[in-house]
Amino acid sequence: MEKTETGRAVRRTLAQRYDPQDNAFGFLRLTLALGVLVAHAWPLGLARPSFGASLTFGQSDLGTLSVQGFFVISGFLVAGSALRLSPGRFAWHRALRILPGLWVCLAVTALLIAPVVHLIERGNLTGFWAHPEGPLRYLAANWFGAMNQYPISGLLADTPFGRMIGGPSAFDGSLWSLRYEFACYLLLGLLAATAVLHRAFRFVLALTIGAYLLILNDLLTVAHWTDRPPTRGAISLPLFGSFTTDWTLYLTFLFLLGACARRYAHRLPVDGAHAATAAVVMVVSMRLGGFFAVGLPAFAYLVLYVAVAAPRVLRRIGRHRDYSYGIYIYAFPVQQVVALLGGATEGLLIYIVLSVVGTLVFAVPSWHLVERPALRGRDWLAARPQVDAGGTPRVMAGDLLPPTPRGAVTDRATGAPTR
């Protein structure tokens, strides 16, 4: 809280504290990406559940929580782009941020890492290219991020993770979340194209509340409060692939929660007292139960609080170089190879260090050679302003911004990656 000259306490809102050029979202993305890597060290290196599962009685773990944090950040940042850009440019920006890095990662995995693994496991490349689930089919099946094929040519069956699941294992299991992210982009794009996002945002708020009511219903239907949400089958979308209903509900809810925080930032108080309360709620729900219904919203608040309240030194991280997406998409195959070579037998800490170093070998070039150059094309589809007979620029419908409430966030395009 701040105090006025009269001594009256005034709550600071998210809009007042958020600066698009000075925030800790870069630090958060990097932390969450490394959180996924560290969490995967247990199943990939030791064939054990991810870190945190026992601490929360199976309700969550470090990897799951990290992915959920990504969706809160994504909803907040991407909603800003959708409010500012025309639907076409919004889609173009999202595609440039995700697809080039993904395509190169798929190619590196299928055409470089997988052949090396085949040589390590079998000493030659016989049958590698002609396998029913070979590298070329891997590329064709996964080019849009739907991840319809995880193994390549029957490899990685003798890693700790392969032995745990009893067969050839995934080369890049982390990519499962991309289809959900794309679906959230599609939802937000449709809301923007139909002007709902700009002129009837209360409908988005109603969607968020409706999703939360379904989550509360899940809490009432589980046998024990420490149970995970129930699964109710899957749905399939053309091009995007199959979605499990529970992940769809929870990740979409967190994404919409971030979007609502962006739109109603001028009404959302963000201060230490509320953050402390959210932290207590989160920890208590992890230990006593109901985390997915009570702890997740508290966690989302903490993510946004850290983004605006972190020390200045942390707010500098990721401002000009963002390796988080590269770490996220390359960590899993690197960890599989390190485990295959026996890196996990040297101890968990050594395995994690080797995994981080190996991942950076791919993540750093991914940013400098693929992701950042692709982002320079954000304005390729920007229409040139039309002028009238007197030379005055005309305002195009796609350039109009919605009326901004007093105190609301009015940042420029950040181009900030989501994951």
pLDDT tens column, 199-241: 999 999 999 999 999 999 999 999 999 999 988 888 888 888 8
The pLDDT > 70 percentage for the chain reads 88
Q: What is the mean pLDDT of the chain?
A: 89
Pair of tokens at residue 256: 């919409």
What's the pLDDT tens digit per position in 2-34?
554 444 555 689 999 999 999 999 999 999 999
* Residue linked to tokens 């199959």: 242
Q: Is the pLDDT of residue 40 over 50?
A: yes
Give the domain ranges of the chain: 20-399
CA separation for the pair 68, 100 (Å, rounded): 23
Q: Is 269 helix (H, G, I), strand (E, B) or coil?
A: strand
The span from the CA of 289 to the CA of 280, in Å, is 13
* CB neighbour class for 49 (10 Å; exposed up to 12, middle 13-18, buried from 19): middle
This prediction has a pTM of 0.89
What is the pLDDT at residue 388? Answer: 45
Give the model's pLDDT for residue 11.
61
Q: How many CA atoms lie within 13 A of 48 on its CB side?
A: 12
List, for residues 68-104, the tens digit of each pLDDT value: 999 999 999 999 999 999 999 999 999 999 999 999 9
What pLDDT does 327 receive? Answer: 98
Split at pLDDT 50, 70, 90, the class of 245 is very high
Sequence-separated (6 or more) residues with CB below 8 Å from residue 190: none
Higher pLDDT: 334 or 395? It is: 334
CA 409 to chain CA centroid, nearest Å: 22
The share of the chain scoring above pLDDT 90, in percent, equals 81
Q: What is the pLDDT of residues 126-182, one digit of tens each?
A: 999 999 999 999 999 999 999 999 999 999 999 999 999 998 999 999 999 999 999
Question: Which pLDDT does position 307 carry in this prediction?
Answer: 97
